Structure 1
Amino acid sequence: MTSTPYTVADVMTTKVIAVTPSTGFKDIATAMERWKVTALPVIEGEGRVVGVVSEADLLPKEEFHEHRPGLIEQMLRLGDTAKAGSTRAENMMTTPAVTIRPDATLPQAARLMADRRIKRLPVVDADGTLKGVVSRADLLKVFLRSDEELATEIRRTVVDRLFPLSRESVKVTVTEGIATLTGHVRDGHLIGMADRLARSVEGVVQVRCRLESPASP
């Protein structure tokens, strides 16, 4: 992985299971079960993403298996009733697909997932070609970074950058992802920025900035 800021490309899964518009219902369900995923990109041609088919898209088939919706219900749920009668991905998938670029940041991916209430995002290039998939679990990988790695990055990107003349007097410790900065620095007006930069390091759970300066109250 690279240094902060991390991008989707750093954590995404590149070995992706996808289906085509002509893939049948049973093959889609089988692939989801086999690969333990809740959604599959639908691609055509050289890998261009044209949609996503998810468990939610398949569920109407079971919901209406023994229940024939009345006219009013059909009108209110046209999409679901249409999917219930479909047998191929092209008629069940959600389109256009909600996708993200490899160079997007992890917060951008997290916000998109939250806003659209989805668990996985196809990652595509400028031409819409599938490059990978990023999931909620992938976004959490940054919290698996070791405390030592986090401390090293905070020292390099925060302490060395902001307090080059005081860096020897600044101590950085990280325990279970919680970073603590202690010591005395000359540039007290930069303490707030140090706190913000330390919090921006991917994988940091919390920051306790206890830096002091002659000008500190």
Structure 2
Amino acid sequence: MARNVGEVMTHDVVEARREMSFKDLVRLLDRHRISGLPVVDDDDKVVGVISRTDLIRRQAARSANARARPFPSLRRSARRAAAVAHATTAGELMSTPAITVHPEQRIADAARVMERHGVERLPVVDEEDRLIGIATRRDLLRVFLRTDDEIRREVRDEVLAHVLGRPDHGVAVSVRDGMTTLEGTLERSGDLPLVIRGTYRVDGVVGVVNGLTVRIPSGPVGPAKGPKGPGAEHC
């Protein structure tokens, strides 16, 4: 079945404290060859995120501020730029609030959070918002690099065997580029939506083609519907 964030996250997290200086942040990112990191407080709770973009924005603001003529009244955007230009610590430079996820969240859901907020990494926190790991786009995308044969085996041997209660269920599964086709006859109509939903939740499945029929329908049986929208259960 679908894996969660806790299974793919990086446990050894490079982090910063609020008081860390600009130069130390640059050194930290360079030393570990990363593009961003979470900022935590003394209780290891995530309070923000620092990225290379934040550091570059600060340097650009300093350069612009040095060229600007002093005016007694500044617009809000100018005041904000001036504050960035004079920022010297992680606490002043970080983007906040931090967008975080919990380890039990599904990978597809975490990927949608990344896409919605336009971020490259998500700090993973426990129920008390303490940092326990980090998930990057690369971590999440590894799930969708599975082969069609791996996907087919999981659908056949885990989803169908579990829902139908036996390994010799007689349902044929074929997968091409993540698109999964199910063909065969089910004994109970109630199993149909369970099979479709279970198949959608398998990592690497990008869509389901339903070719299943029911031997003894308990009522009108229409085509099984998966989650709405092309990105409902995958990213």
> Which residue among 2, 7, 12 is the counterpart of 1:5?
2
Shift of 1:123: 0.9
Q: Residue 83 of structure 1 aligns with which residue?
A: 84
TM-score by length of 1: 0.82
Shift of 1:14: 1.0
CA distance in 2, matches of 1:179, 1:161: 18
Q: Which runs of 5+ in 1 are unaligned?
A: none
Q: Residue 172 of structure 1 aligns with which residue?
A: 173
Aligned length: 214
Change (3 A) 1:66 1:13: same
Shift of 1:81: 2.5
CA distance in 2, matches of 1:13, 1:77: 38
Deviations 1:39-66 (A, max 9, x none): 2111232533222112232123332343
CA distance in 1, matches of 2:165, 2:204: 24
Change (3 A) 1:166 1:150: closer
Q: Residue 151 of structure 1 aligns with which residue?
A: 152
Q: Residue 16 of structure 1 aligns with which residue?
A: 13
> Which residue among 55, 64, 70 is the counterpart of 1:58?
55
SS class of match (1:34)? helix
CA distance in 2, matches of 1:107, 1:193: 19
CA-atom RMSD, angstroms?
A: 2.8
CA distance in 1, matches of 2:45, 2:165: 49
Q: Which amino acid aligns with 2:183?
A: T
Shift of 1:193: 4.2
The farther-off stretch of 61-70 and 134-143 is: 61-70
Shift of 1:102: 1.4
CA distance in 2, matches of 1:65, 1:104: 40
Change (3 A) 1:46 1:188: closer
Change (3 A) 1:165 1:58: closer
Q: Which runs of 5+ in 2 are unaligned?
A: 223-235
* 1:108 paired to 2:109: yes
Deviations 1:165-199 (A, max 9, x none): 79442122334433222223333564454233211
TM-score by length of 2: 0.76
CA distance in 1, matches of 2:75, 2:35: 26
Change (3 A) 1:144 1:60: closer
* 1:117 paired to 2:118: yes
Structural mapping, 1:21-60, within 5 Å: 21-60=18-57
Give % identity. Answer: 32
CA distance in 2, matches of 1:98, 1:166: 42
Q: Is the 8 A contact 2:15 2:40 kept in 1?
A: yes
